[in-house]
Structure 1
Amino acid sequence: MQPSKYRLLAEAESAGVATPATLFLEKNVLENENYAELLNKFIDQNESAFYIVRSCVSGEDAVDVSMAGHFESSGRIKPEQLETAVADYFKKNNLIQKKILPNGEVNLMVQTFMTAELGGVLFSRWKYFPGHFVGEVSTGGAEASVEGVDSSFFLLGKNSEATDTLSPEKIPTEALKSLVVKL
């Protein structure tokens, strides 16, 4: 079964939310170092100047517990650095996984590196409000949001508009409305 981090990304994409092109690399492919051809095909199909290698550990992002920020992902990297980066991040995340999530399975995602005016993090199926999503958005991009810099929190009810809980002037409402509609 695919980790929820990847599965939810695929759900968002199928709902029409703009997501980066993603290559999911399963543990068995990573262990056998059998990914060079997959990476080359992905690079050829996307022709992006930069990519990112992201952790995708089973149990990393779950409804009952979040290990967000515990596993390592790369910054933007050039296509010719991908193969080495994949090997490095698989090794790093295996060491972390053994310490903090012994039943987890280390997978990785390779994605095209996106820049955007609006970035953020969506926490879905929040256990305290199962019918809602909690989001954190920043006009400084996803990295600023993840780091808690210049970001706002909002609560989304199923089929409802976003309610900003901190500072409505910071969130471009049209962008949020388009995101809410697609969820």
Structure 2
Amino acid sequence: MRLEESAGNKDRIREVYERAIANVPPVPEKRYWQRYIYLWINYALYEELDAGDMERARDLYRECLQLIPHKKFSFAKIWLLAALLEIRQLNLEGARKILGTAIAKSPKDKIFKKYIEIELNLGNFDRCRKLYEKYLHWSPENCYAWTKYAELEKSLCETERNRAVFELAIAQPALDMPELLWKAYIDFEL
């Protein structure tokens, strides 16, 4: 593929990529799929950056996401790259739709963090709150998420909400890093 890309013949490059992605891993095991997914990613990036065909890049991400057996495993990277393509194309609703589907089909820390970061940069604080609620519903033991949610409330000068988030967090039956959470709570109260 790199040889064909250096030659610059778009038809030959696409033909090689198409032959490569036609070889779907025979069993749904993540280790077999990792390299295969990178073929799709490289192909989509080639279409977007070198060939300049955004629609084809969009279709490649869509096809790849349909191929992955999400019930067994998923790849946050492909979801995020598909959403970022939409953002680069100024299609915020398309990106939200992709990230929302990702959270519904295969929730992962990376997806929640990136989605929250995007909404935070846009100033959509209510949407950030909803995302944190989904994040914490999916992973209630996640002290990082509780702390970041409390930081959001603190940045909005919502003292009572901030305290309420911490109170909900410490009431959880199991936490992955309680010392992180307690330190943040004590620092807030100080």
Q: Shorter-chain-normalised TM-score: which range?
A: under 0.3
TM score, norm. by length of structure 1 = 0.26
**Which protein, 1 or 2, shows the higher relative CO under an 8 Å CA cutoff with sep ≥ 6?**
1
TM score, norm. by length of structure 2 = 0.26
Structure of larger gyration radius: 2
Larger helix share, 1 or 2: 2
Larger strand share, 1 or 2: 1
